[in-house]
Amino acid sequence: MWGATFVVVKEALHDVSPLLFLALRFSLAALALAVAARPLASKFQAGRTLTSGGVIAGLCLFVGYWLQTLGLRYTTPSKSAFLTGLSIVMVPMFGGLMRRRMPSADEIAGVAIATVGMGLLTLEGGWGGMNPGDILTIGCAAGFALHILAVGHWAPRVNYQALTLVQIVTTALCAASLAGVEARYLRWSPRVLVALVVTGLLATALAFSVQAWAQQRTTPTHTALIFALEPVFAWLTSLVVTGERLSWRQGAGAALILTGILLVELKLLARSRQSSRRDGRP
């Protein structure tokens, strides 16, 4: 779902301004979640933990989506997807800083490889040739990384459905309150309506709910590995819908980003050292 939305959103941005689109998308998602959660409302225990967790997660989510949506006006869907995937590498780095723990060798190597890949993917003419949309999308990856850490901290402490609803409502309110700072425009074209339905109902209300449900039954590493496939689906969607193709250089950069992500999540270097010790090798 998330992989397919890059093309859909980029097309919709011809007819709607970014913040207004986000306000409509997350308002629709919040309404759908509120209706779905109504029969379970009696089980929700509102309190400071739920409110603070949901608001902080929602703020991080808003920053991520705002920068991503704004960046899509200046970069391609597939590049946006691959750069957004850097959030999976940023999670252990930010987590280590918060816990005051040095990153592992896998994390350092993964970040280094992904950074090289990011350069190949975006720096077509040196630093001066970096697309403004690429820079915004790297910032969005940081926002999504902080969101993953926030949800990971608060989800075990509160009802996951209530946490999802609070963060989506927070994101909608942020987008609506800041929509006045941009040059707003809206033309109710078919591509805007399709984008709102796809992103609001499927890629927000449904996808975040499924993610929260699934993470009760699988490990964060498996979840992150599945998320690493998002840019692949985004590129395939962009290829089918718009005919976009990656150059050999951009393809190599995208492959290095995925390699860095997998290296961090699979911890290949740590496993290799453990295997060597079991075999009696230094």
pLDDT tens track, the chain, 282 positions: 888 888 889 899 999 999 999 999 999 999 999 898 876 665 666 677 888 889 999 999 999 999 999 998 888 887 888 888 888 778 878 887 887 777 778 878 887 888 788 777 766 655 456 788 989 999 999 999 898 888 888 888 888 888 889 999 999 999 999 988 888 899 999 999 999 999 999 999 999 888 777 777 665 655 666 777 777 777 778 778 777 777 788 788 888 888 887 887 777 666 666 655 555 555
SS (H, E, C) 128-169: HHCCHHHHHHHHHHHHHHHHHHHHHHHHHHCCHHHHHHHHHH
Q: 186 phi and psi, to 5 degrees?
A: -155, 120
- 110 inside domain: no
Count of domains observed in the chain = 1
166 lies in a domain?
yes
What domain range includes position 180? 2-98+126-234
Residue 20: inside a domain, yes or no? Answer: yes
Report the greatest alpha carbon distance in the chain.
Answer: 68
Torsional sign, CA 113, 114, 119, 121: positive
Q: Name the residue with tokens 């779905």.
A: 36
C-alpha to C-alpha distance for 180 and 173, rounded to whole angstroms: 12
In a domain, 278, yes or no: no
Q: Is residue 152 part of a domain?
A: yes
Instruction: Answer whether residue 282 is part of any domain.
Output: no
